[in-house]
Amino acid sequence: MNLFRRRRNQYLFVILLGVIGVINVLFFFILYRPVRAEYFRLQGSIQKARTDVQSRWQKIDRLEKLSAQLETSAQDRQRLYTTHFIPAETGWSEILPQLNQVTQTAGVKNTRKEYNKDATPQYGLHSVKITVPVTGPYANVMRFIKEIEKSNTFFIINSIDVRAKETAARSSDISMNLNLETFFYR
C-alpha cells in the first residue's frame, strides 16, 4: 500500500506539473502576440526617433549657419551704409560737391539743385529726393547719367525729363531734369 500511495502521489505530482506546464504554455501563447506586437511597435518608434534626431541635427546645423550669417549681417549692413550711403550729419555737405564733380566730369552745366528729405526714416535710412537740371550736348548728358550710375554713393534715378534746349547757342544742346533719390543714415 505504501508503494501504491507513493505511485499515486507521483502521478498526482506529474499531473500537477503537466497542468502547470500546459497553463504556462497557454499563458505564453496568450501573451506572445501582444508582446510581439509591442516589440515591433517599439522598434518602429525607435526608428522614427532616430530619423527625428537626425532631422533635428540637420535643422540645428542649418540654424547655426543662419545664426552665423545673421551675426555678420549687422557688420555687412554697417559696411553697406558706410560705403554707399552718406551720414545724415554730413550729408548735404557731401552730396553737393559730389554732384558738382559729376557735372564737371561729364561736361554739362548745372545751375541749381533741389532737395527734399523725408522726415521719417525707413530701416534707419532717410530718403533724400534730388532734382538736378543739366544742360549740354547729348553725349555729355549721357556721360552724366553714367557717372551717376558709377558713383560710390547709391543713387536711384526715379525719372528723367529730357527736352531740346530752345535758347541754346548750339542746336545740339539738350536740357534734362534728373530726379534722383539717395539715402542718409544715422
**Same structural domain, 78 and 169:** no
Question: Beta strand pairing status for 173-185 and 86-87?
Answer: parallel
**Same structural domain, 28 and 78:** yes
Cell numbers for 163: 527736352
Report the CATH number that the domain containing residue 164 is assigned in CATH: 3.30.70.60
**Same structural domain, 53 and 114:** no
pTM for the model stands at 0.55
Q: Which of 69, 84, 99 is the last residue of a domain?
A: 84
**Same structural domain, 180 and 95:** yes
- Kindly report, residue by residue over 115-132, the tens digit of the pLDDT: 777 777 777 788 888 888
**Same structural domain, 73 and 113:** no
Q: Which residue has the higher pLDDT, 93 or 41?
A: 41
**Same structural domain, 104 and 44:** no
Alpha-carbon torsion angle 149, 150, 155, 158, nearest 10:
0
Q: Which residue has the higher pLDDT, 124 or 171?
A: 124
Question: Beta strand pairing status for 125-137 and 86-87?
Answer: unpaired
**Same structural domain, 80 and 90:** no
Task: State the pLDDT at residue 168.
Answer: 47
- Kindly report, residue by residue over 131-156, the tens digit of the pLDDT: 888 888 888 888 988 988 888 888 88
**Same structural domain, 35 and 45:** yes
Task: State the pLDDT at residue 167.
Answer: 56
Contact 76, 88 (CB under 8 A): no
**Same structural domain, 97 and 138:** yes
**Same structural domain, 94 and 181:** yes
Give me the DSSP letters along 23-88.
HHHHHHHHHHHHHHHHHHHHHHHHHHHHHHHHHHHHHHHHHHHHHHHHHHHHHHHHHHHHHHSEET
Q: Which of 34, 51, 84 is the last residue of a domain?
A: 84
Q: Domain of 80?
A: 1-84
Instruction: With a cut of 80, say whether residue 109 has pLDDT above it.
Output: yes
Q: Please report, rounded to a whole number, the percentage of residues in the chain having pLDDT higher than 70.
A: 96
Instruction: With a cut of 70, say whether residue 65 has pLDDT above it.
Output: yes
Considering its fold, how many domains does the chain have in total? 2
Give me the DSSP letters along 109-176.
B----EEEE-SS-BTTEEEEEEEEEEEEEHHHHHHHHHHHHH-SS--EEEEEEEEE-TT-SSTTEEEE
Q: Which of 49, 84, 119 is the last residue of a domain?
A: 84
